[in-house]
């Protein structure tokens, strides 16, 4: 029995049908012009192209691992584009599309997957926090950050991403509690991509994830995660709510992890290809493309131009990754403490002397 | 002797299978251990053969995995749980330290918790953050837990069986970079009790004490040293708590020199305890200070630097040279 069988589920918010038709929604209207629509399309195509390049680079041995976002472009671009520059975003480790919307250079995302650093961008530069590999902790960081925003009297909102698997972690429940009792301006955005490695969502929850919000006394909404317009409208609304002092909200975006969990994973061991094919028909990029074409907002020249831009991006990524230098040994001792530490300094010196002893040819 | 070539992962799998066959109370759970067979395939095929009740994919929640294992044990089961990677044990740390470790003492011996927590640990596989750590000292530091780590396929097979049979909670550290190492496994007779250390190479000039992933490093160092005419004795601790100090002492009394090797950080690491005990108990036998080779007081580095961080052959031999210089 799946979670769906247990409760009467309201329609998920959808503003664009898989055929590319605009759908009106009583609550979530979206006034968006052709330029902005083309912008969302471009974001998704470039993100997908970048992601595909990263998979290839992993296969070629340039990266140790890659967690592909294939299939989740709409959820990430839609929600990410709903943020303002002063908002603060907490990703997990697959939010490459969100990083893109925050203006983080995709090349910088690759450092940790190549094994040259643990997070190669300055979170303060784009208000986009570092990827956090351990599942659960960042939601509490988001709640705490939002508590700080509240204390400052600022009108910043916080956007915190997590997965269907992550929803089982105690930290996530605690984050909901803190956000709720403090009425903190944080939006929890769950990409329910149906899988946590080999574990289907049914093994994590018997009720749809968005319904959990009710237990904490804040609203939860379910959105078509492959509909970039719906993700944009719903997240924008939730962030505005948070900014205006109405507290936290939970968004569950229904989407699908089209690829492997990560490049080390073999999904044929645990899921049927038919399921994937079913979701292929709901492809987020294809859907917007249909809409743009049907409305006469884009022609072949536009699509060709975006595709070409994707190739240029891929080339830059490829060359950038190959040129990424290995860190020097001293890097592992750097930044362990803000104020320095005698033991670290001693070990660093001893290790440097040890390495030098080889260079002297002993 | 019915000896069979197995990888460490294969031997652990065979051991779990045997435990499931022998004892209907044995239960396996953890993230992705069922259908997928675990990310390292240690539980491969077990769900298919023993069903979803006995081999179950848990929700993504380590505190839940260990906490419910404690509950199952209270109900008479013998849970064997998997933590997917070393760096993900910490959500379960509270359950392990405040509950699993202390229940027997708290209940004045009325409650036993035969829970095994399997943890793939250590580096050397080129992984991202939190997938290469060696957190064993935290657990050694906690009374009530037994802590062991096999270094070979045969020890993997037998030590896991013995851990499951133990009425105490056992934190079972599996050296993940050795999962694919093949060796003969005799499944007919246990090579040693669970908490006994073993001299895996006899020698006379200095002792290398190690365990888990670095036993192989120790043996390679001994082989290299032998070419230079130095005879190293290599001790595989196998068990970190309880510690078979008698075997260490006997070796140090013979050689007078000791180097302890582990991947865990040296500062307040397992080697600190061994060094302290050696100077307490073998003072008059020592010809040189006890040296430790291991991780630094720094987070496990990005994978491109892990060869510098890990105690490899050269760093071990460098320390051997130092103790021999006295
Ligand atoms: C605390 C913790 N436990 C286990 C893992 C290993 N792990 C990495 S990703 C993953 C599945 C996550 O699923 P979900 O939250 O749905 O996110 P998705 O990967 O689908 O984006 C697991 C179990 C981890 N990173 N952190
Ligand atoms: Mg998921």
A114 and B304 within 8 Å at the Cβ level: the answer is yes
Label residue A11 by pLDDT band (50, 70, 90). Answer: confident
A150-207 pLDDT per residue, tens? 999 999 999 999 999 999 999 999 999 999 999 999 999 999 999 999 999 999 999 9
Using CA atoms, how far residue B105 sits from A224, B96, B100, B109, B239, in Å, is 52, 14, 10, 6, 21
The whole-angstrom separation of Cα B28 and Cα B84 is: 13
Dist. CA B65–CA B79, nearest whole Å: 10
How many Cβ atoms are within 10 Å of A286's Cβ, its own excluded? 15
Task: Give the ipTM.
Answer: 0.96
| SS3 assignment for chain A | CCHHHCCCCCCCECCECCCCCECCCCCCCCCCCHHHHHHHHHHHHHHHHHHHHHHHHHHCCCCCCCCCCCCCHHHHHHHHCCCCCCCEEECCCCCHHHHHHCCCCHHHHHHHHHCCCCCCCCHHHHCECCCCCCCCHHHHHHHHHHHHHHHHCCCCCEEEEEECCHHHCHHHHHHHHHHHHHCCCEEEEEEECCEECCEEHHHCCCCCHHHHHHHHCCCEEEEECCCHHHHHHHHHHHHHHHHCCCCCEEEEEECCCCCCCCCCCCHHHCCCHHHHHHHHCCCHHHHHHHHHHHCCCCCHHHHHHHHHHHHHHHHHHHHHHHCCCCCCHHHHCCCCCCCCCHHHHHHHHHHHHHHHHHHCCC
Looking at the structure, tell me whether residues A264 and A362 fall in a common domain: no
- How far apart are alpha carbons B47 and B16 in whole angstroms? 11
Q: A351 and A259 in one domain?
A: no
CB nearest B128 (choices: A112, A333, A354): A112
How close is the Cα of A15 to the center of ligand 2, in Å? 23
> For all residues of chain B together, what is the average pLDDT?
98
SS3 content of chain B, % helix, strand, coil (to 5): 40, 20, 35
Q: Domain residue spans in chain B?
A: 3-186, 198-324
Rounded CA Rg of chain A: 22
CA B242 / ligand 2 centre spacing (Å): 40
CATH, residue A314: 3.40.50.970
The pLDDT assigned to A5 comes to: 46
Question: In this predicted model, what pLDDT tens digit does every residue of B39-79 receive, in sequence order?
Answer: 999 999 999 999 999 999 999 999 999 999 999 999 999 99
One CATH from 3.40.190.170, 3.20.20.190, 3.40.50.970, 3.30.70.100 for B3-186: 3.40.50.970
Quick one: pLDDT at residue A9?
A: 66
Sign of CA dihedral B265, B270, B271, B273: positive
Give how far B251 is from chain A: nearest CA, Å. Answer: 28
Looking at the predicted structure, is the pLDDT value of residue A1 above 90? no
- Distance from the Cα of residue A260 to its chain's centroid: 16
Residues A337 and A227 in one domain: no
Q: Tell me, yes or no, whether A362 and A256 share the same domain.
A: no
Q: In this structure, are A23 and A144 located in the same domain?
A: yes
A189 and A125 co-located in one domain: yes
Determine the angle formed by the axes of helices B215-227 and B313-324, rounding to 10 degrees: 60
Which residue in B104, B130, B131, B195 is the catalytic one?
Answer: B131
Residue A239: CB within 6 Å of ligand 1? no
- Dihedrals phi, psi of A257, to nearest 5 degrees: -80, 100
Mean pLDDT, residues B251-263 taken together: 98
The SS3 of residue B254 is helix
Residues 6+ apart with CB under 8 A from A355: A329
Phi, psi of A252 (to 5 degrees): -110, 115
Question: Rounded distance, CA B183 to CA B269, Å?
Answer: 29
Average pLDDT over residues A53-65: 98
pLDDT, residue B2, reads 77
- Are A239 and A279 in a shared domain? yes
Please check the confidence at residue A220 and state whether its pLDDT lies above 80: yes
Contacts of A139 in chain B (CB under 8 A): none
Determine the pLDDT at residue A8. Answer: 58
Prior bond of B242 cis (ω within 30°): yes
What gap in Å lies between CA B33 and CA B13, rounded to an integer? 11
Determine the distance separating the centroid of ligand 2 and the alpha carbon of B8, expressed in angstroms.
30
Q: Which residues contact A72 (CB under 8 A, 6 or more apart)?
A: A94, A97, A191, A193, A225, A255, A256, A257, A284
Q: How many domains does chain A have?
A: 2
| Cβ A250 vs Cβ A13: under 8 Å | no
pTM for this predicted structure: 0.97
Q: How far apart are CA B125 and CA B249, in angstroms?
A: 33
Q: Which residues of B sit within 8 Å Cβ distance of A?
A: 31-32, 34-37, 39, 57-61, 63-64, 87-88, 90-91, 126-131, 267, 296-299, 301-305, 308-309, 314-315, 318
- A251 shares a domain with A342: no
CA distance B24 to chain A (A): 24
Res A75 pLDDT > 90: yes
Question: Which chain A positions have a beta carbon within 8 Å of B131's beta carbon?
Answer: 133
B96-114: average pLDDT = 98
The distance of A85 to chain B (nearest Cα, Å) reads 28
**A333 vs B298, B302, B315: nearest CB:** B298
Q: Which chain B positions have a beta carbon within 8 Å of A168's beta carbon? A: 59-61, 64
- The pLDDT tens digits of the residues spanning B4-37 come to 999 999 999 999 999 999 999 999 999 999 999 9
pLDDT at A361: 60
Q: Taking 70 as the threshold, does the pLDDT of residue A7 lie above it?
A: no
pLDDT of residue A3: 46
Q: What was the pLDDT predicted at A283?
A: 97
Model confidence at A298: pLDDT above 70: yes
Predicted confidence (pLDDT) per residue in A222-253, tens digit: 999 999 999 999 999 999 999 999 999 999 99
Residue A204: per-residue pLDDT:
98
Q: How far apart (Å, rounded) are the C-alpha atoms in residues A74 and A17?
A: 13
CB distance A139 to ligand 1 below 6 Å: no
A113, A116, A168: residue with CB nearest B60: A168
Query: Domain check: are A258 and A342 in the same one?
Result: no
Mean confidence (pLDDT) of chain A: 96
Which residues share a beta bridge with B146? B170
* Cβ pairs A/B, distance under 8 A: 120
Q: For tokens 């399921």, name the residue.
A: A275
Helix segments in chain B, DSSP class H: 8-22, 46-54, 62-74, 93-94, 103-106, 136-140, 153-165, 215-227, 245-255, 270-281, 306-309, 313-324
A176 Cβ neighbours under 8 A, 6+ residues apart: A139, A188, A212, A213, A216, A218, A248, A250
Domain B198-324: assigned CATH number: 3.40.50.920
Across A71-79, average pLDDT: 98
Q: Is the pLDDT of residue A360 over 90?
A: no
B34-50: pLDDT as tens digits: 999 999 999 999 999 99
Q: Residue A359's pLDDT is what?
A: 83
Whether ligand 1 lies within 6 angstroms of the CB of A291 is answered as no
Which range marks the domain in which residue A235 is found?
3-327
Together in a domain, A291 and A361 = no
Q: Looking at the structure, do residues A22 and A128 belong to the same domain, yes or no? A: yes
Neighbours of A38 (CB within 10 A): 16
């Amino acid at each position: 029995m799946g979670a769906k069988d247990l409760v009467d589920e309201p329609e998920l918010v959808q503003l664009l049908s898989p055929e590319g038709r605009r759908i009106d929604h009583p609550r979530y209207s979206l006034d968006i012009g052709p330029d902005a629509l083309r912008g969302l399309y471009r974001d998704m195509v470039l993100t997908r192209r970048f992601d595909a390049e990263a998979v290839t680079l992993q296969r070629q041995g340039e990266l140790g691992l890659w967690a592909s976002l294939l299939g989740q472009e709409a959820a990430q671009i839609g929600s990410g584009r709903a943020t303002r520059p002063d908002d603060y975003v907490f990703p997990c480790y697959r939010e490459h599309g969100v990083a893109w919307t925050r203006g983080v250079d995709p090349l910088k995302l690759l450092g940790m997957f190549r094994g040259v650093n643990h997070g190669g961008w300055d979170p303060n530069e784009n208000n986009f926090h570092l990827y956090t590999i351990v599942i659960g902790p960042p939601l509490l960081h988001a709640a705490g950050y939002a508590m700080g925003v509240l204390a400052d009297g600022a009108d910043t909102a916080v956007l915190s991403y997590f997965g269907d698997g992550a929803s089982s972690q105690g930290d996530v429940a605690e984050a909901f509690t803190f956000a709720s009792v403090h009425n903190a301006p944080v939006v929890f955005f769950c990409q329910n991509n149906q899988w946590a490695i080999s574990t289907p969502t049914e093994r994590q929850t018997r009720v749809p994830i968005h319904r959990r919000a009710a237990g904490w006394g804040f609203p939860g909404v379910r959105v078509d995660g492959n509909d970039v317009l719906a993700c944009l409208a719903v997240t924008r609304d939730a962030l505005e709510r948070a900014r205006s002092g109405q507290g936290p909200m939970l968004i569950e975006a229904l989407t699908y992890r089209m690829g492997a969990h990560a490049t080390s994973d073999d999904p044929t061991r645990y899921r049927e290809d038919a399921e994937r094919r079913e979701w292929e028909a709901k492809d987020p990029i294809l859907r917007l493309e249909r809409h743009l074409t049907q409305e006469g907002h884009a022609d072949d020249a536009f699509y060709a131009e975006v595709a070409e831009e994707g190739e240029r991006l891929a080339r830059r990524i490829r060359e950038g990754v190959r040129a990424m230098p290995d860190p020097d040994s001293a890097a592992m001792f750097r930044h362990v403490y803000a104020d320095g530490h005698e033991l670290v300094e001693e070990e660093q010196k001893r290790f440097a002397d040890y390495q030098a002893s080889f260079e002297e040819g002993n | 002797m019915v000896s069979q070539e197995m990888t460490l992962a294969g031997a652990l799998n065979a051991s779990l299978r045997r435990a499931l066959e022998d004892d209907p109370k044995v239960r396996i759970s953890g993230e992705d251990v069922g259908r997928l067979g675990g990310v390292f395939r240690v539980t491969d095929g077990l769900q298919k053969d023993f069903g979803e009740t006995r081999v179950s994919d848990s929700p993504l929640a380590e505190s839940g995995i260990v906490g419910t294992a404690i509950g199952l044990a209270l109900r008479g089961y013998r849970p064997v749980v998997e933590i997917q990677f070393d760096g993900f044990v910490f959500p379960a740390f509270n359950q392990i330290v405040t509950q699993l470790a202390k229940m027997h003492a708290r209940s004045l011996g009325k409650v036993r918790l035969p829970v095994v927590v399997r943890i793939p640990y250590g580096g050397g596989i080129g992984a991202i953050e939190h997938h290469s750590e060696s957190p064993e000292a935290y657990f050694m530091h906690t009374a009530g837990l037994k802590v062991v780590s096999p270094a070979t396929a045969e020890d993997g097979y037998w030590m896991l069986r013995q851990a499951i049979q133990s009425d105490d909670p056992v934190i079972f550290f599996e050296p993940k970079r050795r999962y694919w190492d093949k060796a003969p496994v005799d499944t007919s007779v246990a090579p040693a009790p669970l908490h006994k250390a073993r001299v895996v190479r006899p020698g006379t000039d200095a002792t290398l004490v190690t365990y888990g992933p670095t036993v192989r490093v120790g043996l390679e160092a001994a082989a290299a040293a032998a070419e230079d005419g130095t005879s190293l004795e290599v001790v595989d601790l196998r068990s970190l708590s309880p510690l078979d100090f008698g075997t260490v002492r006997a070796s140090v009394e013979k050689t007078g020199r000791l180097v302890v090797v582990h991947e865990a950080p040296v500062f307040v690491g397992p080697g600190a305890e061994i060094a302290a005990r050696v100077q307490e108990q073998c003072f008059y036998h020592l010809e040189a200070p006890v040296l430790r080779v291991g991780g630094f007081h720094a987070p496990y580095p990005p994978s491109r630097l892990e060869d510098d961080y890990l105690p490899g052959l050269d760093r071990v031999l460098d320390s051997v040279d130092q103790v021999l210089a006295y």
